[in-house]
Structure 1
Amino acid sequence: MDTIVFIGTNKSGSSREAIKAAKRLGFFTAVFTDRPQFLEQIAQFPDVDHMILRDLSNLYTLKMAILKLKKEGKTIRSILSFIDPYVHVAAALAEQICTSIVSSKQILTMEDKTLTRRLLKNLSVSPYFAVFHPEALLQDFLPRQERHLPLIVKSPKSAGSKDVLLATSKKELKTAIKKLAKKYRGEPVLLEEFISGPQYLIEAVVYKGTVYIIAVIAQDITFQHRFIVTGYSLMPYMETPFYNSIYDSVTSIVQALGLKNGACHFEMRLADGEWKLIEINPRISGGAMNRIIEIGYGINLVEETIQLFLGNEPRLARKHSKYVYAHYLTVSYEGILSKVTGRERASKIPGVEEVFIKPKKGKYLRPPLTMGDRYGYVLASSETSIEEAKKMAEEAAKEISFQLEDEYSYDI
Structure 2
Amino acid sequence: MKTIVFIETNKSGSSREAIKAAERLGYLTVLLTKRKRYLAQRTEFPDVHQMYYVKNLESKLLKNKINFLQTQGKEVVAVVSFIDPFVQVAVQLSSELSRNEYINLNAVAEMEDKILTRQALEGLALSPVYTVVDQSDLRIGEILETPICFPLIVKAPVSTGSKDVLFVEGPLQLETAVQSLTIKERNQRVLIEEYLDGPQYLVEVMVQKGVAHLVAVIEQEISRNNRFIVTGYGVLAMVSKEMKQSLKKVAQFIVSTFEVENGTFHLELKRVNKQWKIIEINPRISGGVMNRLIQAAFGMNLVEETIKLYTGQQVSFRKSQLKFAYAQYLTVQTKGRLKKVTGKQRALRHEGVEEVYIKPRKGAFMTPPFSMGHRYGYVLASAYTLSEAKNIAQNAAKEIQFHLQPV
* TM-score, with length taken from structure 2: 0.98
Indicate the residue corresponding to 1:142 in structure 2: 143
Structure 2 counterpart of 1:296, one-letter code: A
Residue matched to 2:336: 335
* Match status 1:20 vs 2:20: yes
Q: Structure 1 pair 111/338, CA: closer, same or farther in 2 (3 Å)?
A: same
- Deviation string 1:130-177 (CA, Å, 9 cap, x unpaired) is 000332323453342584221110000111311000111111111111
Distance 1:236 1:132 in 2: 41
Structure 1 runs of 4+ aligned residues shifted over 3 Å read none
Q: Provide, for residues 363-386 of structure 1, a one-character-per-residue CA deviation record: whole Å limited to 9, x for no partner.
A: 000111100000000000002x11
In structure 1, the residue matched to 2:169 is 168
Q: How does 1:5-404 map to 2 (within 5 A)?
A: 5-99=5-99, 100-139=101-140, 141-144=142-145, 147-383=148-384, 385-404=385-404
Q: d(CA) in 1 for partners of 2:308 and 2:187?
A: 39
Structure-1 separation of matches of 2:387 and 2:323: 12
Cα deviations by residue, 1:205-225 (Å, 9 ceiling, x for unpaired):
010000000000000000000
CA contact (8 A) 1:32 1:56 kept: no
CA distance in 2, matches of 1:261, 1:129: 29
Give the distance between the partners of 1:146 and 1:24, measured in 2 at CA. 53
Paired residues, what number? 406
Distance 2:240 2:162 in 1: 31
> Cα deviations across residues 91-136 of structure 1 (Å, max 9, x unaligned)?
1111222333222221111001111100111322111010003323
Q: Are the counterparts in 1 of residues 7 and 80 from structure 2 also a CA contact under 8 Å?
A: yes
Instruction: Judge conservation of contact 2:211–2:255 (CA < 8 Å) in 1.
Output: no
8 Å CA contact 1:120, 1:253 repeated in 2: no
- After the TM superposition, which of the residue ranges 131-140 and 309-318 deviates more from structure 2? 131-140
CA RMSD of aligned residues (A): 1.1
Q: Secondary structure at the match of 2:47?
A: coil
Say which SS state the counterpart of residue 11 (structure 2) adopts. coil
Name stretches of at least 5 consecutive residues in structure 1 with no aligned partner. Answer: 408-412
1:124 aligned partner, one-letter code: A
Name the SS of the counterpart of 1:91 in structure 2.
helix
Q: Distance in 2 between matches of 1:313 and 1:334?
A: 48
Provide the rounded CA distance (Å) in 2 between the counterparts of 1:21 and 1:57.
23
Question: How far, CA to CA, are the matches of 1:143 and 1:302 in structure 2?
Answer: 42
Aligned to 1:410: none
Distance 2:333 2:193 in 1: 30
SS in 2 for 1:264: strand
Q: Is the 8 A contact 1:7 1:56 kept in 2?
A: no
Q: Aligned equivalents of 2:148 and 2:106: distance in 1? A: 35
Superposed CA offset, 1:294-327 (max 9, x none):
1100110000001111122311121110010100
State the distance in 2 between where 1:165 and 1:223 align: 10
Q: Secondary structure at the match of 1:393?
A: helix
1:142–1:174 CA contact under 8 A, matched in 2: no
Q: Which amino acid aligns with 1:218?
A: E
Contact 2:153–2:165, Cα closer than 8 Å, also in 1: yes
Q: 3-state DSSP class of the match of 2:398?
A: helix
Residue type at the aligned position of 1:371: M
What letter is aligned with 1:342? G
SS in 1 for 2:145: helix
Q: 1:142·1:170 contact (CA, 8 Å) conserved in 2?
A: no
- How many Å separate the matches in 1 of 2:137 and 2:370? 29
How much does 1:253 deviate? 1.8
C-alpha distance 17-272 of structure 1, shift in aligned 2 (>3 A)? same
- What one-letter code is carried by the residue in structure 2 that aligns with 1:305? T
Return closer, same or farther for 1:56/1:284 CA change in 2, 3 Å cut-off: farther
For residues 140 and 73 of structure 1, the distance between their equivalents in structure 2, rounded to whole angstroms, comes to 61
Letter in 2 for 1:75: E
Alpha-carbon distance in structure 2 between the residues aligned to 1:142 and 1:54: 41
Quote the Cα distance in structure 2 between the aligned partners of 1:37 and 1:391. Answer: 38
Higher mean C-alpha deviation, range 44-53 or range 250-259 = 250-259
1:34 & 1:376 partners in 2: Cα distance? 24
CA contact (8 A) 2:155 2:164 kept: yes
What runs of 5+ residues in structure 2 fail to find an aligned partner? Answer: none
Distance 2:142 2:187 in 1: 17
